[in-house]
Chain A
Amino acid sequence: MLERAQKFLRRFEVLPFVAPGLVLLCLFVLWPLLQGLRISFYDWSIMPGAEQKFVGLANYSRAFHDPVARTALVNTLIYVVVTVPGQMFFGLLVALGLNAAIRGRVLLRSLYYIPVLTSWVVVSFIFKYLFMGGEAGPVNYLLQNVLGILEEPVGWLQDRWTAQVPITTLGIWKGIGWNMIMFLAALQSIPREIYEAAAIDGASRFQVLWRITLPLIRPVLLFVMVMLTIGGFSVFISVNLLTGGGPMDSTQVILSYMYDQGFKYFEFGYGFALAALLGLVIFAISRLQFRYMKNEIDM
């Protein structure tokens, strides 16, 4: 009993240290979140002091009947399914390469990390330029005039499916550096003796990778996967700037569609309902992933 009380009191002792963070969290994360949830049940007017009309679940049922919302969900899923393994694959590849004792690896590590640090807005504009339609677009020029793969230039951003190429390429390219850092840290924590033992046993390089390295960094792989999945569902800036959801809403993702609803059409209630649904999807998927992870890690 006494122990319990002490434990409880100790919580208050740390309060001064966590309070600033807690206050900020409530102010800038929890309060807006609750406010957003509330708005999703209204036909919300943004005018300060305006009378708000309660519409119950109307915004939610609308989302289930909206064909564009469906397109947006599918596009978001495509983005997650392509970019999460893509980033992990290339991130691991680079990490394995840079884990070896090669010359200039500090420099290379910094170089691979630069895309992570650059602004989404800036690189989106650069990709927009690279994937410009017509013969003047650098990617088209490369594929058509230099490599001779294309017969005629592609209007990359003018079609739902070709537009996925720049959008997902950008997502993968920008994420490699972060994956690399995570995997490098994990790789360096593997004791050298295990590799030495494997070498003595005559394991091939592939066997070492498959049977030693990957199983040992599995917790990190799973953690990275969860984080990337959450990030992938929240894709917004690149889509908004590359295609703006067009042509004809065919490249919308959930967040870009939500943004359009709010800021183009003043449908803030519907926008927040979409956001809430997306939040629910992310929450469910991360829960599943974490549960799986827990079982795996409690070896």
Chain B
Amino acid sequence: MKRCRKLLALAVVVALALTLAAAGCAKEPVAEEVTLTFWHTYNTDSNENKVLMETLIPAFEAKYPHIKIDAVVQPYDGLHDSLIAAVAGGMAPDLMRMDIIWVPEFAELGALEPLDDYPGFDELAESVFPGPLSTNLYKGKHYGMPLNTNTQVIVYNPEFLQAAGLSEPPATIEEFKAYAAEFTGQDGKYAFAPGGPYPWAMLPWFWSLGGRITNDDYTQASGYLDSDASVAALETMAQFTKDGCWAPTLLGGQPGTWDGFKAGNYGAVLEGPWFFAILQSELGDKMQGAPVPAGPGGSLSVVGGENIVIFESCRHKDAAWKFIQFMLSDEAQIAMAETGQMPVTFSASESDVMKEVGYYGPYIEQLKTALPRTPVPAWNKIDKILNDAFESVFRGVASAREALTQAAEEIDLLLGE
């Protein structure tokens, strides 16, 4: 009986406390303080992170005193996995700077918030490059905004060019072949070191040599990926490997592309602007960027970059939208451009910064024609199918036609879903 009374007393106290708390909530003013979690992949000790933490976020918080940004560095390796776990567990961040190829996938999942109806969306959409903007599109709606863009160009070691008797980097595939014939593995020197058989490293060659993955609507691969032009493109790439002008890095050989380039083993690599940003102090003028050598397809590289998205589970979406608008302002875009992040807005890319950063030149040129990786939710699977198709040809397991025909069939199934 005594115990009962104690329990009752406890229950009353708890009930009272709850009522009080509820009443307290109701009286709170509406403009409460809001904290937004923002995941990004700027390296902890990079300039980008420094600018974000020391310049941009303080500026944003000064402008909107009631919004606090809790920026969290996420390592790119394994991020896809931990993001899935976070989404499934209802622990997704409010905002995220996300690889452009993930957006359709997470949009299909229902994890992202469509932005089309937010105030000022149309003006903002008009202020950015249409290419990067389109990577946010899924079923007619935009599930993010572009934040920074990039592409890859060929970075040459000028000493190799000199040794081959060239004053300029090869502009066409024919010129590249002539240059490459000089370095086919003698003394461990190779003309070019590919990063691997994966699409990010292979597509610039494949496209420039005339290959294609799908039609323009991204609905069909058969007839494109297995066309004569695509087969010929892959055969040329396989020939580069066989002749030894492409280094064994293609299939995991050592030293890796960066180490081998620094050590003078590799005459060229395919890299994004971060290559210059990171190695400038070490290599100085021992690197020279140039567009991908033009083949039957032209000089085509691959668009990379990040989008900024709001998660569907975010409870303060209006505040998050304000942060997106801020990150696309000239102030933020130009500050980031100085650290090697190529801006996505017209106004920022016309600013003087772009001329001051010397190595941007070939990238700006290359971006004019660069193509996106197939922007569909199933890209992750397509990426793997293409990787395996290319790799099986490089390893001599399958002919280019066999590999691409099979890959096209598999990709057709995914595009039809």
Interface-side segment among A19-27, A208-216, A259-267, A272-280 = A259-267
Contacting pair B109 A264 (CB below 8 A): no
Cβ of B109 and Cβ of A45 under 8 Å apart? yes
A134 & B88 in contact (Cβ 8 Å cutoff)? no
Assess whether B252 is interfacial by the CB under 8 Å rule.
yes
**Interface membership of chain A positions 139-160, coded 1 if the CB is closer than 8 angstroms to chain B and 0 otherwise:** 0000000000000000101100
Cα distance, A158 to B87, chains bound together (Å): 34
- Which listed residue (B87, B105, B380, B395) contacts A47, Cβ 8 A? B87
Question: Is B81's CB within 8 Å of the partner chain A?
Answer: yes
How far apart sit A46 and B248, CA to CA, in the bound complex (Å)?
40
Q: B252 near A155 (CB under 8 angstroms)?
A: yes
Please report which residues of chain B, range 258-298, place their CB below 8 angstroms from some CB of chain A when the two chains form the complex: none
The DSSP consensus for interface residues of chain A is loop
If A264-B80, A264-B380, A265-B380 touch, whether A47 touches B88 (CB-CB below 8 Å) is yes
A133 contacts B381, CB within 8 Å? no
Residues of chain A with a CB closer than 8 A to B89's CB: 48
Cβ–Cβ contact A247 & B84, under 8 A:
no
How many residues on the B side are at the interface (Cβ–Cβ under 8 A)? Answer: 26
Inter-chain contact A45/B110, CB cutoff 8 Å? yes
Task: Report the separation of the CA atoms of residues A237 and B179 in the bound assembly, to the nearest whole angstrom.
Answer: 44
A36 to B248, CA, bound (A): 42
> A136 in the interface, Cβ–Cβ < 8 Å?
yes
Q: Is the CB of B388 within 8 A of A50?
A: no
A185 at the interface (CB under 8 A from B): no
How many whole Å from A205's CB to the nearest CB in chain B? 47
B393 CB, nearest partner CB in chain A, Å? 11
Contact: A48 with B90, CB < 8 Å?
yes
Q: Are A265 and B253 in contact (CB under 8 A)?
A: no
B254: contacting residue among A47, A133, A248, A265, CB under 8 A: A133
B329 contacts the other chain (Cβ, under 8 Å)?
no
- B88 touching A46 by the CB < 8 A rule? yes
Q: How far is the CA of A136 from the CA of B259 in the complex (A)?
A: 12
Q: Are A46 and B87 in contact (CB under 8 A)?
A: yes
A158 to B394 alpha-carbon distance, docked (Å): 12
Instruction: Kindly state the separation between the CA atoms of A249 and B384 in the bound complex, as whole angstroms.
Output: 10
A247 with B391, Cβ < 8 A, contacts A47-B110, A265-B380 known = yes
Who on chain B is nearest to A262 by CB? B84
B residues whose Cβ falls under 8 Å from a Cβ of A: 80-81, 84-85, 87-90, 105, 109-111, 248, 251-255, 380-381, 384, 387-388, 391-392, 395
Q: Can you give 22 A-B contacts (C-beta < 8 A)?
A: A45-B110, A46-B88, A46-B109, A47-B87, A47-B111, A48-B89, A133-B252, A134-B253, A136-B254, A155-B248, A158-B252, A247-B391, A248-B391, A249-B388, A263-B85, A264-B80, A264-B380, A265-B380, A265-B381, A266-B84, A266-B105, A266-B109
Nearest 3 CB-CB pairings of A with B: A134-B254, A46-B88, A263-B81
